[in-house]
Chains A and B, each alone.
Chain A
């Protein structure tokens, strides 16, 4: 069975908006990230085990706001108290997670096909986010993540890099196209290239 990505109908290659005379990081690059393993991990309220002892791909579950623990393939985003979103390019990791996070203490849900993932790279990536989100992006540091709104669409932001800015946006798949239109519309004034 062939899989259709969340933004397959709307994301087309090309350059758009005010892209002329812009080179390198001054031109935004927008892409859809596909084939990622996305897993929600929630520790039950009555569970007493320490998450420091949990080892997923060499990473711990840290219950710290904004925190992202990461390695080359995997990023674990803090999504709320005892609630994490794991994003990995290693699809086989789901077996490891199911073994590590026992079902008596954790709810593990594979969300790989229920999220749309947009990646924006360039010097003005944060400016695009500021146009539609009420969050103060001045406080967001590299390898931080937040949940917020973009033009009233709930989304998750993962700041992968700050020089130049590189952000990954996650939204419910059904809101993916709507979020994509909002993001690309806000990006027109900076000029962007779809990859």
Chain B
């Protein structure tokens, strides 16, 4: 069983969480002109990285908060977790 340390609740089973996608995607600035390709990249195109990766997860059966999780997509090892409003330092 995979365990994720929720920054609000503490160490919990992965069963309580729901995966929410790539946490590094940034929405284009409001009001700024962007190309169709940039919009396409924001909405659809994702890299399928092997290795360390920041992801969004929701503690759906716990505190119901969205969190950021740094996980190795090959080994499933979890290195770090952050609250949703905390910035990722790459």
Q: Give A contacts to B, CB under 8 Å.
A: 65-66, 79-81, 83, 134-136, 139, 146-149, 152, 154
Q: How large is the interface on B (under 10, 10 to 19, 20 to 34, 35 or more residues)?
A: 10 to 19
Complex CA–CA separation, A154 to B64 (angstroms): 11
Determine whether the beta carbon of A147 is less than 8 Å from that of B13.
no
Determine whether the beta carbon of B62 is less than 8 Å from that of A80.
yes
A–B pairs, 26, beta carbons within 8 Å:
A65-B8, A65-B10, A66-B9, A79-B63, A80-B8, A81-B8, A81-B63, A81-B65, A83-B64, A134-B1, A134-B12, A134-B15, A135-B12, A139-B10, A146-B9, A146-B62, A147-B61, A147-B63, A147-B64, A148-B12, A148-B13, A148-B61, A148-B62, A149-B15, A149-B61, A152-B15
When C-beta atoms are compared, the residue in chain A nearest to B6 turns out to be A65
Determine whether the beta carbon of A65 is less than 8 Å from that of B9.
yes
Interface residue? B11 (CB, 8 A): yes
Determine whether the beta carbon of A134 is less than 8 Å from that of B13.
yes
Determine whether the beta carbon of A147 is less than 8 Å from that of B11.
no
Determine whether the beta carbon of B16 is less than 8 Å from that of A134.
yes
User: What's the least CB distance linking A172 to chain B, in Å?
Assistant: 12
The listed residue (B1, B8, B9, B16) touching A149 by CB distance below 8 A is B16
6 closest pairs, A vs B, by CB? A134-B13, A80-B63, A154-B61, A147-B62, A149-B61, A134-B15
* Per-residue interface assignment for chain B, residues 38 to 77, with 1 indicating a CB less than 8 Å from any chain A CB and 0 otherwise: 0000000000000000000000111111000000000000
Determine whether the beta carbon of B64 is less than 8 Å from that of A80.
yes
Q: Which residues of A contact B10 (CB under 8 A)?
A: 65, 139
The listed residue (A83, A135, A149, A152) touching B63 by CB distance below 8 A is A83
Complex CA–CA separation, A152 to B54 (angstroms): 26
Q: Which residues of B contact A136 (CB under 8 A)?
A: 11
Q: Which residues of A contact B13 (CB under 8 A)?
A: 134-135, 148-149
User: What's the least CB distance linking B14 to chain A, in Å?
Assistant: 8
* Contacting residues of chain B (11-43) with chain A, CB-CB under 8 angstroms: 11-13, 15-16
Complex CA–CA separation, A79 to B12 (angstroms): 15
Complex CA–CA separation, A152 to B62 (angstroms): 12
